[in-house]
Amino acid sequence: MRLLNLILLAFSVITFFSCNPEEEDYYENVSNPNELTYVPDDKFEQYLEDNNMGNGVHNDHYVFTELIDIVTSLNVDYEYIYDLTGIEDFSALESLSCYYNHLSSLNVTQNTLLEYLDCSVQNPPGGYPGMLTELDVSQNTHLTRVKCYSNSFTSLDFSNNPALIEADVEMNNSLSNLNVQNGNNHNLVMDLFSTNDLDCITVDDPAWSYSYWTYDVDYSLNCQ
């Protein structure tokens, strides 16, 4: 009798793992399992696997593309990610928050529907300053809010972001070139705290900026 019980228990365990309804539901919606996105960062891939955006195979560095190209919002704050390669296939993404990771580069040029971006505080292991030195948002014409504080940018260009109403670039101590000439300065709010190297901002209308903004910088149509 005891042997029979052990056999039945083993059969139940095998049946659970091979016929888990959640596992079946996870895969049954995948129509093209051959279309995969490369995700080299272990932490990023693990996050996607844990949130039903993977391919069911941990540590193989691939996820099903069709499970991520419908995602509109992604929050990977505090996930200690070094590389967000794969984010380019999140083609429906409108909101991306990757605050407090270890990114040294970030490519969002393919995320053309992006409206909100927070890539602040990309810390190297052991401290400051932040690791990001470049940010290209020229293709993100729907962008309304961007937070990229506590990094190491020397130049930021928001001239191709006509919907932008908030830009938090504080604590970028190396920032010396800021272009917000986007045709929407009347609605734009910026945080420039501790941007010690910044002495001029390229704007829509210098006279208007001097009248309505109180930042301790000069304004010009073309800062040199």
Q: Tokens 């309304």 map to which residue? A: 144
Would you call the peptide bond into 40 cis, given omega within 30 degrees of 0 as the criterion?
A: no
Q: Which of the residue ranges 1-5, 124-128, 148-152 has the most confident prediction, judged by mean pLDDT? A: 148-152
Look at residue 158 and tell me if it is in a domain: no
201: β partners: 178, 219
DSSP states along 78-135: TS--S--TTGGG-TT--EEE--SB--S----TT-TT--EEE---BPPTT--S-S----
Look at residue 94 and tell me if it is in a domain: no
Q: What is the pLDDT of residue 195?
A: 92
Q: What is the pLDDT of residue 125?
A: 66
pLDDT band at 224 (very low <50, low <70, confident <90, very high): confident
pLDDT in tens, 113-144: 999 999 999 987 666 667 899 999 999 999 99
CB 208 within 8 A of CB 202: no
Look at residue 175 and tell me if it is in a domain: no
pLDDT in tens, 36-87: 999 999 999 999 999 999 999 999 999 999 999 999 999 999 999 999 999 9
Mean pLDDT over all residues of the chain? 88
Q: What is the pLDDT of residue 11?
A: 36
| Sheet containing strand 189-191, strands side by side | 73-75, 95-97, 116-118, 145-147, 166-168, 189-191
Q: Which pTM was predicted?
A: 0.86
Look at residue 18 and tell me if it is in a domain: yes
Look at residue 171 and tell me if it is in a domain: no
Look at residue 165 and tell me if it is in a domain: no
Lowest-confidence segment of 10-19, 33-42, 93-102, 109-118 by average pLDDT? 10-19
Q: What is the mean pLDDT of residues 160-179?
A: 96
Look at residue 23 and tell me if it is in a domain: yes
Does the structure show a pLDDT above 90 at 7? no
* Residue 14, domain extent: 1-30
Look at residue 88 and tell me if it is in a domain: no
Domain tally for the chain?
A: 1
Q: What is the pLDDT of residue 190?
A: 97
Q: Per the structure block, which two tokens stand in for 120?
A: 């602040």
CB 114 within 8 A of CB 136: no
Q: What is the mean pLDDT of residues 167-189?
A: 97
